[in-house]
Structure 1
Amino acid sequence: MNVLIVDDDRLVSSSLKTILEADPMIKVTGIGHCGAEAVELFCKLHPDILLIDIRMDGMTGIDAAKVLLEKYTDAKLLFLTTFSDDDYIVEALRIGAKGYILKQNFESIIPALKAVFSGQRVFGDAIISKIPALIKQQEPPNFNRFDLSKREITIIEQVASGRSNREIAQELFLSEGTVRNYISAILEKLVLRDRTQLAIFYYKQR
């Protein structure tokens, strides 16, 4: 797995290289220190994953990600930052980043990279816990282009609000088994892996 690290703190980027290359599966192919370097190095090195900070002088990590995802729609970008700012989370979800984790949770960085490499999306617990509140602040999503029934949309809304199968069943007067069946069918229809991806899907439609 080839990883490009971009962080404006040179000590952090150097430390990250040491931590990541302790794992035999990971090779750090380049290090940058600003958004412009992220774009330049990504286009030159074509890494499997770009591990990038958000707040940097000049071009931010978000701005760099927008440029890269417009050019390389299948690029795998994982934001690593000290900030769990709501606006950053919203924008990371909107532009299609593969993940958003906090530097404080350093032990989760390697597992997150491996998950993203395997095709998953990764948002740390501190980020996931914010999603239901952020959803309530946004306009209702538009599901017109998806083949979803009203009941399926309601189930998705319940999942995105953080409710368990039992709570959904009680709210909608269904059995837990029926709720599980609905969720399985929805995940298959939308080609999603799990409830977390379903919540992110809901949020991205706004």
Structure 2
Amino acid sequence: MRIIIADDDRLVCDSLKIILGARGIEVCGVGADGDQAARLYEQERPDVALLDIQMPGRDGLWAAEQILSEDPAARVVFLTTFSDDEYIVRALKLGARGYLIKTDVAAIPPALAQVMAGRRVLEGKAVADVDFAAAGKGSALARPAAFACLTDREFEVARLVAEGLDNKEIAAAAYMGEGTVRNHISSVLAKLGLRNRTQIAIAYLRG
């Protein structure tokens, strides 16, 4: 497996090169921002692009968008410090194959193997894919068991959160006010025992 890494923390890059190299994973390029990541991908055509989200200048999301626009089959995986990063849901909608937590270094090599096997990974765990395009058209998707306690409208809002929509977009798509959207999200969080909208999306995807 050949990968590129983009992270503005050189120590993270050097550490990952050692850890991944010991597992037979070749790091064929290292960058420090989104521009370098996009250039490296074009030059190296790696099996996986492992990108930090927040970097100086153009960030990982920008790089992912460039990479995936040129190569829709690209395996882009985000590496982040925070498991509840507000950008994660949009990253998945963009087409990323998942995200990993920097502090959980041991989970990175097996997670990359899952990605190579065609799976999506969240926090190192494989999850089933969701057809975001179909979901966006309002197709009837099976309700995850964990969401059984929600009303139909709460589940609809949860599904739209998982698609990466913000409150204004959800309000327009579901024909309700933004205040109502916020109320539904608060209710979903309370019923499911979650902390934020990213956890709603993760629960949906894992379901």
Q: In 1, are the aligned partners of 2:98 and 2:121 still within 8 Å (CA)? A: yes
Partner of 1:22: 22
Partner of 2:137: 142
1:31 & 1:125 partners in 2: Cα distance?
22
1:71 & 1:141 partners in 2: Cα distance?
23
Deviation track 1:97-120 (CA, whole Å, cap 9, x = no partner) reads: 101111111110001111101111
2:103 & 2:147 partners in 1: Cα distance?
24
Q: Shift of the alpha carbon at 1:83?
A: 2.0
Q: 1:200 aligns with which of 191, 198, 205?
A: 205
1:158 & 1:48 partners in 2: Cα distance?
32
3-state secondary structure, aligned to 2:22? coil
Partner of 2:67: 68
**CA gap 1:86/1:55 in 2 versus in 1, 3 angstroms:** closer
**CA gap 1:162/1:49 in 2 versus in 1, 3 angstroms:** farther
Deviation track 1:173-193 (CA, whole Å, cap 9, x = no partner) reads: xxxxxxxxxxxxxxxxxxxxx
2:111 & 2:77 partners in 1: Cα distance?
8
The percent identity for this pair of structures is 40
The one-letter amino acid of 1:158's match is P
Partner of 2:112: 113
Write out the 4+ residue segments of structure 1 that deviate beyond 6 Å after TM superposition.
Answer: none
After the TM superposition, which residues 181-192 of structure 1 pair with which residues of structure 2 at under 5 Å, given as runs? none
For the pair 1:36 / 2:35, whether they are aligned, the reply is yes
State the number of aligned residues: 150
Q: In 2, are the aligned partners of 1:7 and 1:32 still within 8 Å (CA)? A: yes
The one-letter amino acid of 1:81's match is T
1:86 & 1:13 partners in 2: Cα distance?
20
1:162 & 1:106 partners in 2: Cα distance?
31
The unaligned stretches of length 5 or more in structure 1 are 129-139, 168-195
RMSD of equivalent CA atoms: 3.0
For the pair 1:158 / 2:144, whether they are aligned, the reply is yes
Partner of 2:98: 99
3-state secondary structure, aligned to 2:103? coil
